[in-house]
């Protein structure tokens, strides 16, 4: 078993990390404080091939692997987890278009998604349908000219600032088989947005409701051209989303460890550097060990997804659960190591604690991850 990255993967990681350090980290605190969504900076990542990472090259993407994508998300999140997580969401939208769109849809939509001329939002969750996505109530009624959509989507990242909305709606009866997927543009009559949510973290990206009130779309907006496949589309994206949000917890954890280490050499107590106290050395050692364990789990899950391993969903759930829990614990410990200074905005630790808390909820709560894992184990799906 070989654990080293290839030269190409190392180069990809270095490019993403340089962008995070130069273009994200210096501004992350200000974006958080002002609730500013830096669309111009986000679009710069498209020039680096980070807008359609695992979309095949022959249809306009970068043609990279899920493991490559995890490396990119981890590196970007070193600079700002909120922005990295949005870029992950945009990539999910681009991947779904490339995977499930018709040839005509891919030709029409992919060039603008791959260049980020269009920024994408993924619209599955509803006010009454979070973990139980099959219970969604948004409807798409067919008529002679296309479809009329009615309903509300909740907790939509980028809503109101993005251009392309990948929306799941019910075209048939109750349950998973009645769900279809639609591409809806921002300027569609009948499409509107709720107030910007006031959140604990992730303030650098807007989160709003997406509201459809007789929003009319043409028949060509039905992704894949066939009704009833939307729920399968949504479920197929979960493993990749879980891997990415786990990766977006690793980068900030690495940043927090770096900052805590530096602080331990700068700060003195009782005439000694903090780095000289064994109890703090042990704390730093545990933080680094948990970070490395999270990396191995996320990388293994991404590799399993690339290989279509039948256990990929379980590995993705395991990696997401462990990496997001560990990431939050690491940044919280880093804040503690900073003492009272960690509670101040100037040191950046409190922002990471606020940002990473939601990773334990996104892409399926960590309680749902335990459900996924236990079901696989109880069904005998383990090695």
- Name the band, by pLDDT with cuts 50, 70 and 90, for residue 383: low
Does residue 2 sit within a domain?
no
Note whether 351 and 301 are same-domain residues.
yes
Does residue 46 sit within a domain?
yes
Q: How many CB atoms lie within 10 A of CB 225?
A: 14
Measured CA distances, 147 to 170, 180, 221, 241 (Å): 11, 11, 9, 28
Does residue 54 sit within a domain?
yes
Q: For residue 134, what is the domain's CATH number? A: 2.40.110.10
- Name the band, by pLDDT with cuts 50, 70 and 90, for residue 134: confident
| Stated pTM of the model | 0.96
Q: Domain limits at 67? A: 7-114
| pLDDT tens, position by position, 59-111 | 999 999 999 999 999 999 999 999 999 999 999 999 999 999 999 999 999 99
- How confident is the model over 239-258, as a mean pLDDT? 98
Does residue 90 sit within a domain?
yes
Does residue 300 sit within a domain?
yes
> For the chain, where are the E strands, in sequence order?
120-123, 139-143, 146-157, 164-170, 179-185, 191-193, 207-218, 268-269, 272-273
At 133 the pLDDT is 77
Residue 381 has pLDDT above 70, yes or no: no
Does residue 1 sit within a domain?
no
At 95 the pLDDT is 98
Cβ 326 vs Cβ 253: under 8 Å: yes
Note whether 370 and 242 are same-domain residues.
yes
| pLDDT tens, position by position, 13-29 | 999 999 999 999 999 99
Does residue 190 sit within a domain?
yes
At 158 the pLDDT is 97
Note whether 106 and 157 are same-domain residues.
no
- Cα–Cα distance measured from residue 103 to residue 101, given in angstroms and rounded to the nearest whole number: 6
Q: What amino acid positions are annotated as catalytic residues?
A: 363
Note whether 15 and 96 are same-domain residues.
yes
Note whether 59 and 145 are same-domain residues.
no
Measured CA distances, 70 to 44, 91, 204, 317 (Å): 19, 12, 21, 15
| pLDDT tens, position by position, 155-173 | 999 999 999 999 999 999 9
Note whether 130 and 158 are same-domain residues.
yes
- For the chain, what is the mean pLDDT? 96
Cα(first)–Cα(last) distance of the chain, in Å? 16
At 317 the pLDDT is 97
| pLDDT tens, position by position, 269-304 | 999 999 999 999 999 999 999 999 999 999 999 999
Q: Is 344 helix (H, G, I), strand (E, B) or coil?
A: coil
At 382 the pLDDT is 61
| pLDDT tens, position by position, 186-220 | 999 999 999 999 999 999 999 999 999 999 999 99
What is the distance, to the nearest Å, from the Cα of residue 155 to the centroid of all Cα atoms in its chain?
13
Query: Considering 114, 144, 162, which residue would you say is the last residue of a domain?
Result: 114
Partners of 208 in the β-ladder: 156
Note whether 64 and 37 are same-domain residues.
yes
Query: Considering 201, 230, 259, which residue would you say is the last residue of a domain?
Result: 230
| φ, ψ of residue 23 in degrees (nearest 5) | -110, -20
| pLDDT tens, position by position, 226-239 | 999 999 999 999 99
Note whether 45 and 101 are same-domain residues.
yes
Based on the number of CB atoms within 10 Å of its own CB, is 34 exposed (0-12), middle (13-18) or buried (19 or more)? exposed
- Cα–Cα distance measured from residue 111 to residue 113, given in angstroms and rounded to the nearest whole number: 6
At 129 the pLDDT is 80
Q: For residue 306, what is the domain's CATH number? A: 1.20.140.10
- Name the band, by pLDDT with cuts 50, 70 and 90, for residue 142: very high
- For tokens 């191995």, the residue is 296
Does residue 383 sit within a domain?
no
At 3 the pLDDT is 84
Q: How many domains, in total, are found in the chain?
A: 3
Note whether 91 and 143 are same-domain residues.
no
Residue 113 has pLDDT above 80, yes or no: yes
- Cα–Cα distance measured from residue 277 to residue 264, given in angstroms and rounded to the nearest whole number: 9
Query: Considering 114, 141, 176, which residue would you say is the last residue of a domain?
Result: 114
Q: For residue 98, what is the domain's CATH number? A: 1.10.540.10
At 215 the pLDDT is 98
Note whether 38 and 106 are same-domain residues.
yes
Note whether 124 and 225 are same-domain residues.
yes
Note whether 367 and 253 are same-domain residues.
yes
């Amino acid at each position: 078993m070989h654990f080293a990255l290839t030269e190409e993967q190392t180069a990809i990681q270095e490019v993403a990390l340089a962008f995070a350090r130069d273009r994200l980290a210096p501004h992350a605190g200000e974006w958080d404080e002002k609730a500013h969504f830096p669309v111009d900076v986000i679009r710069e990542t498209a020039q680096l091939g980070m807008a359609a990472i695992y979309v095949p090259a022959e249809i306009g993407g970068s043609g990279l692997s899920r493991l490559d994508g995890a490396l990119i998300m981890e590196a970007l999140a070193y600079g700002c987890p909120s922005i990295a997580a949005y870029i992950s969401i945009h990539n999910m939208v681009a991947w779904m278009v490339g995977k499930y769109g018709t040839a005509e849809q891919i030709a029409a939509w992919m060039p603008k998604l791959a260049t980020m001329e269009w920024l994408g939002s993924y619209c599955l969750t509803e006010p009454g349908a979070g973990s139980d996505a099959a219970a969604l109530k948004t409807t798409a009624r067919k008529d002679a000219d296309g479809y009329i959509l009615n309903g509300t989507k909740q907790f939509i990242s980028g809503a109101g600032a993005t251009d392309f909305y990948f929306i799941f709606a019910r075209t048939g009866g109750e349950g998973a088989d009645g769900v279809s997927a639609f591409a809806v543009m921002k300027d569609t009559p009948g499409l509107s947005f709720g107030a910007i949510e006031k959140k604990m973290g992730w303030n650098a990206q807007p989160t709003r409701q997406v509201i459809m009130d007789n929003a009319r779309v043409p028949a060509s907006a039905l992704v894949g051209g066939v009704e009833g496949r939307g729920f399968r589309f949504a479920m197929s994206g979960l493993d990749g989303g879980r891997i990415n949000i786990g990766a977006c917890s690793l980068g900030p954890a690495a940043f927090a460890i770096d900052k805590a280490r530096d602080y331990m050499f700068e700060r003195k107590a009782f005439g000694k550097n903090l780095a000289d106290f064994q109890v703090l050395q042990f704390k730093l050692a545990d933080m680094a060990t948990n970070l490395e364990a999270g990396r191995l789990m996320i990388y293994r899950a991404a590799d399993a997804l690339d290989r279509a391993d039948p256990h990929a969903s379980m590995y993705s759930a395991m990696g997401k659960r462990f990496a997001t829990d560990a990431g939050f614990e690491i940044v919280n410990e880093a804040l503690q190591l900073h003492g009272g200074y960690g509670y101040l905005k100037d040191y950046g630790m409190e922002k990471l604690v606020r940002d990473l808390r939601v990773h334990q909820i996104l892409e399926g709560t960590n309680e749902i991850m335990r459900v996924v894992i236990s079901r696989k184990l109880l069904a005998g799906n383990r090695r």
